[in-house]
Chain A
Amino acid sequence: MIRAIVLVAAVYTALIAQEFIPPVGFLGGAHLLLVPVLFCYGALWLSFPTMLAFALFTGLLSDLAFLHVIGDRVEIGLGWSMLFYVFVGTALQPLRPLFREGRWEIHCLASGAVTLLLLLSQYTMVCLRRGSFLFDGTIFWHMAGPAVFALLIAPLVYFFFNLLPAGTPMRQTSRRGGGLTR
Protein backbone atom coordinates (compact mmCIF):
# COMPACT_ATOMS: atom_id res chain seq x y z
CA MET A 1 0.00 0.00 0.00
CA ILE A 2 2.80 2.39 0.92
CA ARG A 3 4.59 1.65 -2.35
CA ALA A 4 1.41 2.28 -4.32
CA ILE A 5 0.88 5.65 -2.63
CA VAL A 6 4.54 6.61 -3.15
CA LEU A 7 4.30 5.54 -6.80
CA VAL A 8 1.28 7.80 -7.37
CA ALA A 9 3.05 10.73 -5.71
CA ALA A 10 6.25 9.96 -7.62
CA VAL A 11 4.48 10.03 -11.00
CA TYR A 12 3.08 13.50 -10.31
CA THR A 13 6.41 14.75 -8.95
CA ALA A 14 8.25 13.29 -11.96
CA LEU A 15 5.90 15.06 -14.39
CA ILE A 16 6.67 18.39 -12.73
CA ALA A 17 10.41 17.63 -12.37
CA GLN A 18 10.72 16.64 -16.05
CA GLU A 19 9.85 20.20 -17.04
CA PHE A 20 12.94 21.50 -15.28
CA ILE A 21 15.41 18.93 -16.61
CA PRO A 22 17.22 20.66 -19.48
CA PRO A 23 17.49 18.86 -22.83
CA VAL A 24 20.68 16.85 -23.30
CA GLY A 25 22.87 18.47 -25.94
CA PHE A 26 24.89 15.39 -26.94
CA LEU A 27 21.65 13.43 -27.46
CA GLY A 28 20.43 15.90 -30.10
CA GLY A 29 18.57 17.97 -27.51
CA ALA A 30 16.50 14.99 -26.32
CA HIS A 31 14.40 15.35 -23.17
CA LEU A 32 14.76 12.79 -20.40
CA LEU A 33 11.59 11.05 -19.25
CA LEU A 34 11.05 9.66 -15.75
CA VAL A 35 7.36 8.74 -15.88
CA PRO A 36 7.65 5.57 -18.06
CA VAL A 37 10.29 4.19 -15.65
CA LEU A 38 7.98 4.72 -12.68
CA PHE A 39 5.02 3.29 -14.56
CA CYS A 40 6.96 0.13 -15.44
CA TYR A 41 7.76 -0.39 -11.78
CA GLY A 42 4.06 -0.03 -10.92
CA ALA A 43 2.97 -2.30 -13.78
CA LEU A 44 5.32 -5.04 -12.58
CA TRP A 45 4.65 -4.59 -8.88
CA LEU A 46 0.92 -3.88 -8.55
CA SER A 47 -1.92 -6.38 -8.88
CA PHE A 48 -3.92 -6.25 -12.14
CA PRO A 49 -6.84 -4.06 -10.95
CA THR A 50 -4.51 -1.64 -9.15
CA MET A 51 -2.24 -1.54 -12.19
CA LEU A 52 -5.19 -0.54 -14.39
CA ALA A 53 -6.10 2.31 -12.04
CA PHE A 54 -2.43 3.34 -11.96
CA ALA A 55 -2.25 3.24 -15.78
CA LEU A 56 -5.34 5.47 -16.09
CA PHE A 57 -3.92 7.91 -13.55
CA THR A 58 -0.47 8.03 -15.19
CA GLY A 59 -1.95 8.36 -18.66
CA LEU A 60 -4.36 11.12 -17.68
CA LEU A 61 -1.66 13.19 -15.98
CA SER A 62 0.79 12.65 -18.86
CA ASP A 63 -1.80 13.74 -21.41
CA LEU A 64 -2.74 16.81 -19.39
CA ALA A 65 0.92 17.76 -19.02
CA PHE A 66 1.76 17.35 -22.73
CA LEU A 67 -1.55 18.15 -24.41
CA HIS A 68 -0.96 20.26 -27.51
CA VAL A 69 -4.07 22.17 -28.53
CA ILE A 70 -3.71 24.65 -31.41
CA GLY A 71 -6.97 26.33 -32.24
CA ASP A 72 -9.43 23.48 -32.73
CA ARG A 73 -6.74 20.92 -33.49
CA VAL A 74 -5.32 18.42 -30.99
CA GLU A 75 -2.32 16.39 -32.14
CA ILE A 76 -2.52 13.63 -29.52
CA GLY A 77 -5.82 13.66 -27.71
CA LEU A 78 -6.54 13.41 -24.01
CA GLY A 79 -6.92 9.69 -23.26
CA TRP A 80 -4.36 8.37 -25.71
CA SER A 81 -1.65 7.85 -23.05
CA MET A 82 -4.26 6.18 -20.83
CA LEU A 83 -4.82 3.60 -23.57
CA PHE A 84 -1.08 3.23 -24.10
CA TYR A 85 -0.33 2.60 -20.43
CA VAL A 86 -3.32 0.25 -20.01
CA PHE A 87 -2.07 -1.95 -22.89
CA VAL A 88 1.59 -1.79 -21.85
CA GLY A 89 0.69 -2.57 -18.23
CA THR A 90 -1.42 -5.53 -19.32
CA ALA A 91 1.46 -6.82 -21.45
CA LEU A 92 3.88 -6.55 -18.51
CA GLN A 93 1.64 -8.31 -15.98
CA PRO A 94 2.72 -11.88 -16.91
CA LEU A 95 6.28 -10.91 -15.88
CA ARG A 96 5.09 -9.82 -12.45
CA PRO A 97 5.86 -13.10 -10.60
CA LEU A 98 9.44 -13.07 -11.87
CA PHE A 99 9.85 -9.40 -11.00
CA ARG A 100 8.56 -9.96 -7.47
CA GLU A 101 11.11 -12.72 -7.03
CA GLY A 102 13.78 -10.04 -7.40
CA ARG A 103 14.55 -10.01 -11.13
CA TRP A 104 15.31 -6.27 -11.32
CA GLU A 105 16.61 -6.50 -14.88
CA ILE A 106 13.04 -7.06 -16.12
CA HIS A 107 12.13 -3.58 -14.91
CA CYS A 108 15.29 -2.18 -16.46
CA LEU A 109 14.62 -3.64 -19.92
CA ALA A 110 10.90 -2.85 -19.75
CA SER A 111 11.63 0.80 -18.89
CA GLY A 112 13.88 1.23 -21.93
CA ALA A 113 11.47 -0.57 -24.25
CA VAL A 114 8.36 1.26 -23.00
CA THR A 115 10.07 4.68 -23.25
CA LEU A 116 11.14 3.91 -26.82
CA LEU A 117 7.69 2.61 -27.74
CA LEU A 118 5.98 5.64 -26.19
CA LEU A 119 8.13 8.11 -28.12
CA LEU A 120 7.93 6.13 -31.35
CA SER A 121 4.15 5.94 -31.20
CA GLN A 122 3.87 9.64 -30.28
CA TYR A 123 6.11 10.58 -33.20
CA THR A 124 4.15 8.38 -35.61
CA MET A 125 0.92 10.09 -34.54
CA VAL A 126 2.47 13.54 -34.92
CA CYS A 127 3.67 12.62 -38.44
CA LEU A 128 0.25 11.27 -39.40
CA ARG A 129 -1.40 14.47 -38.16
CA ARG A 130 1.07 16.70 -40.01
CA GLY A 131 0.89 14.65 -43.18
CA SER A 132 4.56 13.88 -43.73
CA PHE A 133 7.10 11.49 -42.25
CA LEU A 134 10.65 12.69 -41.58
CA PHE A 135 13.42 10.66 -40.00
CA ASP A 136 17.02 11.64 -39.33
CA GLY A 137 19.73 11.31 -36.68
CA THR A 138 18.22 13.99 -34.45
CA ILE A 139 14.84 12.27 -34.41
CA PHE A 140 16.50 8.92 -33.74
CA TRP A 141 18.30 10.33 -30.68
CA HIS A 142 15.11 12.00 -29.47
CA MET A 143 13.74 8.47 -29.10
CA ALA A 144 16.83 6.42 -28.32
CA GLY A 145 18.34 8.94 -25.87
CA PRO A 146 15.47 8.86 -23.34
CA ALA A 147 15.25 5.05 -23.76
CA VAL A 148 18.94 4.63 -22.86
CA PHE A 149 18.49 7.03 -19.95
CA ALA A 150 15.50 4.96 -18.76
CA LEU A 151 17.65 1.80 -18.88
CA LEU A 152 20.27 3.52 -16.74
CA ILE A 153 18.03 4.99 -14.06
CA ALA A 154 15.64 2.02 -13.77
CA PRO A 155 17.87 0.14 -11.27
CA LEU A 156 17.96 3.26 -9.05
CA VAL A 157 14.17 3.46 -9.11
CA TYR A 158 13.95 -0.28 -8.36
CA PHE A 159 16.30 -0.11 -5.40
CA PHE A 160 14.63 3.03 -4.06
CA PHE A 161 11.19 1.39 -4.04
CA ASN A 162 12.61 -1.78 -2.54
CA LEU A 163 13.63 0.25 0.50
CA LEU A 164 9.94 0.91 1.16
CA PRO A 165 7.76 -1.59 3.05
CA ALA A 166 6.39 -4.20 0.65
CA GLY A 167 2.88 -4.52 2.14
CA THR A 168 1.05 -7.85 1.90
CA PRO A 169 3.46 -10.78 1.40
CA MET A 170 3.10 -12.91 -1.74
CA ARG A 171 1.62 -16.38 -1.58
CA GLN A 172 1.83 -19.40 -3.85
CA THR A 173 -1.41 -19.82 -5.84
CA SER A 174 -0.64 -22.73 -8.08
CA ARG A 175 1.63 -25.68 -7.39
CA ARG A 176 1.90 -26.58 -11.04
CA GLY A 177 2.24 -23.09 -12.55
CA GLY A 178 4.17 -21.70 -9.62
CA GLY A 179 2.52 -18.29 -10.10
CA LEU A 180 2.73 -15.83 -7.26
CA THR A 181 0.05 -13.35 -6.31
CA ARG A 182 -0.94 -11.14 -3.46
Chain B
Amino acid sequence: MNKLHFILLGVAIVIAVIFLSFSSERMRSWQSGYLRVSNPALQAGSAISGQVEKLQKGLKTLDELEAENAALVASNNELRAASQLVGGLENENKRLRASLDYRERSAFKLLPAQIVSRDASSWWNTAKINRGFGQEVDTAQPVLTADGLVGRTTTVSKEISIVLLLTDENCQVAARVEGTNEQGILSGQRVAGSATPELVLNFLNRDANLQPGMKVFTAGVSGAVFPAGIPLGVIKEFRARELDGQAVVEPAADFSKLDDVFVVQGSK
Protein backbone atom coordinates (compact mmCIF):
# COMPACT_ATOMS: atom_id res chain seq x y z
CA MET B 1 0.00 0.00 0.00
CA ASN B 2 1.31 3.42 -0.91
CA LYS B 3 0.47 6.86 0.47
CA LEU B 4 -2.44 7.35 -1.95
CA HIS B 5 -3.95 4.07 -0.82
CA PHE B 6 -3.84 5.18 2.82
CA ILE B 7 -5.57 8.45 1.92
CA LEU B 8 -8.27 6.60 -0.03
CA LEU B 9 -8.76 4.16 2.86
CA GLY B 10 -9.17 7.12 5.23
CA VAL B 11 -11.75 8.71 2.92
CA ALA B 12 -13.69 5.42 2.73
CA ILE B 13 -13.72 5.12 6.52
CA VAL B 14 -14.91 8.72 6.89
CA ILE B 15 -17.78 8.05 4.43
CA ALA B 16 -18.83 4.97 6.44
CA VAL B 17 -18.66 6.89 9.72
CA ILE B 18 -20.82 9.68 8.27
CA PHE B 19 -23.51 7.08 7.51
CA LEU B 20 -23.13 5.60 10.99
CA SER B 21 -23.79 9.02 12.53
CA PHE B 22 -27.24 9.28 10.89
CA SER B 23 -30.26 9.42 13.20
CA SER B 24 -32.64 6.45 13.22
CA GLU B 25 -35.24 8.51 11.35
CA ARG B 26 -32.75 9.35 8.62
CA MET B 27 -31.67 5.73 8.35
CA ARG B 28 -35.33 4.72 8.04
CA SER B 29 -35.80 7.30 5.32
CA TRP B 30 -32.79 5.92 3.37
CA GLN B 31 -34.17 2.40 3.74
CA SER B 32 -37.56 3.60 2.55
CA GLY B 33 -35.85 5.03 -0.56
CA TYR B 34 -34.05 1.73 -1.15
CA LEU B 35 -37.35 -0.16 -0.88
CA ARG B 36 -38.97 2.21 -3.34
CA VAL B 37 -36.17 1.68 -5.88
CA SER B 38 -36.15 -2.09 -5.29
CA ASN B 39 -39.92 -2.48 -5.38
CA PRO B 40 -40.13 -3.67 -9.04
CA ALA B 41 -37.32 -6.21 -8.46
CA LEU B 42 -38.92 -7.45 -5.22
CA GLN B 43 -42.34 -7.77 -6.88
CA ALA B 44 -40.80 -9.68 -9.79
CA GLY B 45 -38.94 -11.96 -7.39
CA SER B 46 -42.14 -12.54 -5.43
CA ALA B 47 -44.04 -13.45 -8.61
CA ILE B 48 -41.34 -15.94 -9.69
CA SER B 49 -41.16 -17.41 -6.18
CA GLY B 50 -44.97 -17.75 -6.13
CA GLN B 51 -44.93 -19.61 -9.44
CA VAL B 52 -42.26 -22.02 -8.19
CA GLU B 53 -44.26 -22.62 -5.00
CA LYS B 54 -47.44 -23.29 -6.98
CA LEU B 55 -45.56 -25.77 -9.13
CA GLN B 56 -44.27 -27.59 -6.02
CA LYS B 57 -47.77 -27.69 -4.50
CA GLY B 58 -49.14 -29.00 -7.79
CA LEU B 59 -46.63 -31.85 -7.81
CA LYS B 60 -47.58 -32.81 -4.25
CA THR B 61 -51.26 -32.91 -5.20
CA LEU B 62 -50.36 -35.11 -8.13
CA ASP B 63 -48.70 -37.57 -5.76
CA GLU B 64 -51.84 -37.76 -3.65
CA LEU B 65 -54.01 -38.26 -6.68
CA GLU B 66 -51.73 -41.02 -7.93
CA ALA B 67 -52.06 -42.87 -4.60
CA GLU B 68 -55.84 -42.55 -4.51
CA ASN B 69 -56.58 -43.19 -8.13
CA ALA B 70 -53.89 -45.61 -9.27
CA ALA B 71 -56.10 -47.32 -11.80
CA LEU B 72 -57.40 -44.11 -13.36
CA VAL B 73 -54.00 -42.43 -13.45
CA ALA B 74 -52.63 -45.07 -15.75
CA SER B 75 -55.34 -44.54 -18.33
CA ASN B 76 -56.19 -40.85 -18.10
CA ASN B 77 -53.24 -38.47 -17.71
CA GLU B 78 -54.98 -35.58 -19.36
CA LEU B 79 -58.00 -35.71 -17.06
CA ARG B 80 -55.77 -35.93 -14.01
CA ALA B 81 -53.87 -32.77 -14.96
CA ALA B 82 -57.15 -30.86 -15.43
CA SER B 83 -58.42 -32.10 -12.07
CA GLN B 84 -55.23 -30.98 -10.40
CA LEU B 85 -55.61 -27.48 -11.83
CA VAL B 86 -59.21 -27.23 -10.61
CA GLY B 87 -58.16 -28.47 -7.16
CA GLY B 88 -55.51 -25.73 -6.94
CA LEU B 89 -58.01 -23.03 -7.89
CA GLU B 90 -60.58 -24.37 -5.42
CA ASN B 91 -58.07 -24.19 -2.56
CA GLU B 92 -57.12 -20.66 -3.52
CA ASN B 93 -60.81 -19.71 -3.67
CA LYS B 94 -61.46 -21.21 -0.21
CA ARG B 95 -58.48 -19.39 1.25
CA LEU B 96 -59.57 -16.03 -0.20
CA ARG B 97 -63.18 -16.58 0.93
CA ALA B 98 -61.98 -17.28 4.45
CA SER B 99 -59.89 -14.12 4.40
CA LEU B 100 -62.81 -11.99 3.15
CA ASP B 101 -65.07 -13.47 5.83
CA TYR B 102 -62.54 -12.53 8.49
CA ARG B 103 -62.35 -9.04 7.06
CA GLU B 104 -66.13 -8.66 7.49
CA ARG B 105 -66.13 -10.11 11.03
CA SER B 106 -63.25 -8.02 12.31
CA ALA B 107 -63.89 -4.99 14.53
CA PHE B 108 -60.93 -3.18 12.97
CA LYS B 109 -60.46 -1.46 9.65
CA LEU B 110 -58.26 -3.89 7.77
CA LEU B 111 -56.16 -3.41 4.67
CA PRO B 112 -55.44 -6.68 2.81
CA ALA B 113 -51.78 -7.21 1.86
CA GLN B 114 -49.55 -9.94 0.57
CA ILE B 115 -46.17 -11.05 1.81
CA VAL B 116 -43.58 -10.17 -0.84
CA SER B 117 -40.54 -11.75 0.81
CA ARG B 118 -39.06 -12.86 4.13
CA ASP B 119 -35.89 -11.37 5.62
CA ALA B 120 -32.75 -13.17 4.45
CA SER B 121 -30.79 -12.21 7.55
CA SER B 122 -30.07 -14.71 10.28
CA TRP B 123 -30.68 -12.46 13.28
CA TRP B 124 -33.97 -10.73 12.57
CA ASN B 125 -37.43 -12.01 11.70
CA THR B 126 -39.10 -9.61 9.31
CA ALA B 127 -41.16 -9.78 6.15
CA LYS B 128 -42.01 -7.33 3.40
CA ILE B 129 -45.64 -6.64 2.40
CA ASN B 130 -46.91 -5.02 -0.79
CA ARG B 131 -48.54 -2.03 0.93
CA GLY B 132 -46.99 1.28 1.95
CA PHE B 133 -47.81 4.89 2.68
CA GLY B 134 -49.44 5.03 -0.76
CA GLN B 135 -52.20 2.94 0.85
CA GLU B 136 -52.07 4.91 4.14
CA VAL B 137 -49.93 2.33 5.95
CA ASP B 138 -47.90 3.91 8.75
CA THR B 139 -45.12 2.70 11.04
CA ALA B 140 -46.09 0.64 14.11
CA GLN B 141 -49.38 -0.65 12.72
CA PRO B 142 -50.39 -4.21 13.67
CA VAL B 143 -50.40 -6.89 10.97
CA LEU B 144 -52.48 -10.05 11.37
CA THR B 145 -54.01 -13.03 9.59
CA ALA B 146 -57.37 -14.70 10.11
CA ASP B 147 -55.64 -16.89 12.73
CA GLY B 148 -53.87 -14.27 14.81
CA LEU B 149 -51.25 -11.54 15.16
CA VAL B 150 -48.29 -11.58 12.76
CA GLY B 151 -46.33 -8.49 13.82
CA ARG B 152 -46.13 -4.76 13.24
CA THR B 153 -44.85 -2.43 10.54
CA THR B 154 -41.47 -0.75 11.01
CA THR B 155 -40.12 0.90 7.84
CA VAL B 156 -42.75 2.07 5.34
CA SER B 157 -42.10 3.16 1.76
CA LYS B 158 -44.64 4.13 -0.90
CA GLU B 159 -45.54 0.63 -2.09
CA ILE B 160 -43.79 -1.70 0.32
CA SER B 161 -43.41 -2.02 4.10
CA ILE B 162 -41.28 -4.05 6.47
CA VAL B 163 -43.13 -6.04 9.13
CA LEU B 164 -41.35 -7.02 12.34
CA LEU B 165 -42.69 -10.52 12.98
CA LEU B 166 -44.01 -11.69 16.33
CA THR B 167 -41.32 -14.39 16.28
CA ASP B 168 -38.57 -11.74 16.60
CA GLU B 169 -37.12 -11.14 20.04
CA ASN B 170 -37.62 -7.40 19.57
CA CYS B 171 -41.36 -7.69 18.93
CA GLN B 172 -42.77 -7.54 22.46
CA VAL B 173 -46.50 -7.64 23.04
CA ALA B 174 -48.49 -7.18 26.25
CA ALA B 175 -50.55 -10.37 26.50
CA ARG B 176 -53.21 -11.88 28.73
CA VAL B 177 -54.23 -15.49 29.23
CA GLU B 178 -57.86 -16.34 28.54
CA GLY B 179 -59.97 -17.09 31.62
CA THR B 180 -57.38 -15.76 34.08
CA ASN B 181 -56.01 -12.45 35.31
CA GLU B 182 -52.53 -13.40 34.16
CA GLN B 183 -50.74 -10.83 32.01
CA GLY B 184 -47.21 -10.86 30.68
CA ILE B 185 -44.94 -9.85 27.83
CA LEU B 186 -44.87 -12.13 24.80
CA SER B 187 -41.86 -12.17 22.50
CA GLY B 188 -40.01 -14.37 20.05
CA GLN B 189 -36.63 -16.02 20.42
CA ARG B 190 -33.27 -14.56 19.46
CA VAL B 191 -32.56 -17.18 16.84
CA ALA B 192 -35.25 -19.51 15.57
CA GLY B 193 -34.38 -23.05 14.59
CA SER B 194 -37.47 -23.57 12.43
CA ALA B 195 -40.01 -21.71 10.33
CA THR B 196 -42.59 -22.09 13.13
CA PRO B 197 -40.71 -21.03 16.26
CA GLU B 198 -42.26 -20.97 19.71
CA LEU B 199 -42.87 -17.75 21.62
CA VAL B 200 -42.24 -17.05 25.29
CA LEU B 201 -44.62 -15.29 27.67
CA ASN B 202 -42.59 -13.76 30.52
CA PHE B 203 -43.31 -11.95 33.78
CA LEU B 204 -46.27 -14.14 34.83
CA ASN B 205 -46.99 -15.01 38.46
CA ARG B 206 -44.78 -17.93 39.40
CA ASP B 207 -47.74 -19.73 40.99
CA ALA B 208 -50.12 -19.08 38.09
CA ASN B 209 -52.19 -22.13 37.28
CA LEU B 210 -51.76 -22.15 33.52
CA GLN B 211 -52.59 -25.29 31.60
CA PRO B 212 -51.53 -26.33 28.09
CA GLY B 213 -54.20 -25.35 25.57
CA MET B 214 -55.17 -22.04 27.20
CA LYS B 215 -55.44 -19.23 24.68
CA VAL B 216 -53.35 -16.06 24.77
CA PHE B 217 -54.61 -12.70 23.46
CA THR B 218 -53.23 -9.18 23.19
CA ALA B 219 -53.89 -7.25 26.40
CA GLY B 220 -54.30 -3.90 24.66
CA VAL B 221 -52.74 -1.80 27.41
CA SER B 222 -53.02 1.97 27.19
CA GLY B 223 -50.79 3.47 24.48
CA ALA B 224 -49.85 0.07 23.08
CA VAL B 225 -49.45 -0.64 19.36
CA PHE B 226 -51.75 -3.67 19.45
CA PRO B 227 -55.49 -3.46 20.22
CA ALA B 228 -56.92 -5.88 22.80
CA GLY B 229 -58.31 -9.26 21.86
CA ILE B 230 -56.13 -10.33 18.93
CA PRO B 231 -55.26 -14.05 19.22
CA LEU B 232 -51.55 -14.63 19.83
CA GLY B 233 -51.33 -18.35 20.44
CA VAL B 234 -51.92 -21.28 22.72
CA ILE B 235 -49.99 -22.19 25.87
CA LYS B 236 -47.85 -25.27 25.37
CA GLU B 237 -45.96 -25.39 28.63
CA PHE B 238 -45.67 -23.39 31.87
CA ARG B 239 -42.65 -23.28 34.14
CA ALA B 240 -42.22 -21.49 37.45
CA ARG B 241 -38.88 -19.69 37.78
CA GLU B 242 -37.23 -18.17 40.81
CA LEU B 243 -39.03 -14.84 40.63
CA ASP B 244 -41.72 -15.23 38.00
CA GLY B 245 -43.41 -17.70 35.69
CA GLN B 246 -42.75 -18.30 32.01
CA ALA B 247 -45.02 -19.94 29.47
CA VAL B 248 -44.05 -21.37 26.09
CA VAL B 249 -46.65 -20.34 23.52
CA GLU B 250 -47.37 -21.86 20.14
CA PRO B 251 -48.22 -18.99 17.74
CA ALA B 252 -51.78 -18.75 16.46
CA ALA B 253 -50.66 -17.62 12.99
CA ASP B 254 -48.80 -20.15 10.86
CA PHE B 255 -45.48 -18.39 10.22
CA SER B 256 -44.33 -21.09 7.82
CA LYS B 257 -47.17 -20.31 5.41
CA LEU B 258 -47.58 -16.56 5.58
CA ASP B 259 -49.17 -15.35 2.38
CA ASP B 260 -52.20 -13.06 2.80
CA VAL B 261 -52.19 -10.70 5.77
CA PHE B 262 -54.09 -7.58 6.94
CA VAL B 263 -52.77 -4.29 8.21
CA VAL B 264 -54.87 -2.88 11.08
CA GLN B 265 -55.51 0.78 10.36
CA GLY B 266 -57.81 1.61 13.29
CA SER B 267 -61.39 0.92 14.40
CA LYS B 268 -64.21 0.73 11.84
* A residues at B contact (CB < 8 Å): 12, 16-21, 23, 25, 28-31, 33, 48-49, 52, 55-56, 59-61, 63-75, 77-80, 82-83, 86, 90, 93, 119, 122-123, 126, 130, 134, 138-139, 142-143, 146
Contacts and interface: CB of A to CB of B under 8 A. Distances in A.
28 contacts: A16-B42, A16-B45, A20-B49, A20-B117, A48-B5, A49-B8, A52-B11, A56-B16, A60-B19, A61-B34, A63-B19, A64-B30, A64-B34, A66-B120, A66-B124, A70-B154, A74-B24, A77-B20, A77-B22, A78-B31, A79-B22, A83-B13, A93-B1, A123-B122, A130-B169, A130-B190, A139-B190, A139-B191
Contacts, number: 145
A90 B19 contact: no
A80 B192 contact: no
B17 to A, nearest CB: 7
Interface of B: 1, 5, 8-9, 11-13, 15-22, 24-25, 27-28, 30-31, 34, 38, 41-42, 45-46, 48-49, 117-124, 126, 128, 140, 154-155, 164, 169-170, 190-195
Contacts of B154: 68-70
A83 B190 CA distance: 25
A43 B54 CA distance: 39
A30 B123 CA distance: 10
B14 to A, nearest CB: 11
The 10 A-B pairs at the shortest CB distance, nearest first, are namely: A79-B19, A79-B20, A18-B120, A19-B117, A82-B16, A64-B34, A138-B193, A83-B16, A142-B122, A20-B49
B120 A80 contact: no
A25 B28 CA distance: 31
B22 A52 contact: no
A130 to B, nearest CB: 7
Interface centre among A72, A78, A130 (most CB of B within 10 A): A78
Contacts of B24: 69, 71-74
A73 B126 CA distance: 16
Nearest to B34: A64
A74 to B, nearest CB: 5
B71 to A, nearest CB: 36
Contacts of B21: 79
Nearest to B27: A78
A60 B19 CA distance: 9
Contacts of B120: 18-19, 21, 31, 33, 65-66
Nearest to B197: A29
A77 B122 contact: no
Given A30-B122, A74-B27, A134-B190, A69 B155 contact: yes
Contacts of A134: 190-191
Nearest to B38: A16
A123 B18 CA distance: 23
A52 B15 CA distance: 11
A82 B9 contact: no
B5 to A, nearest CB: 5
Contacts of A60: 19
Contacts of A72: 24-25
B11 to A, nearest CB: 8
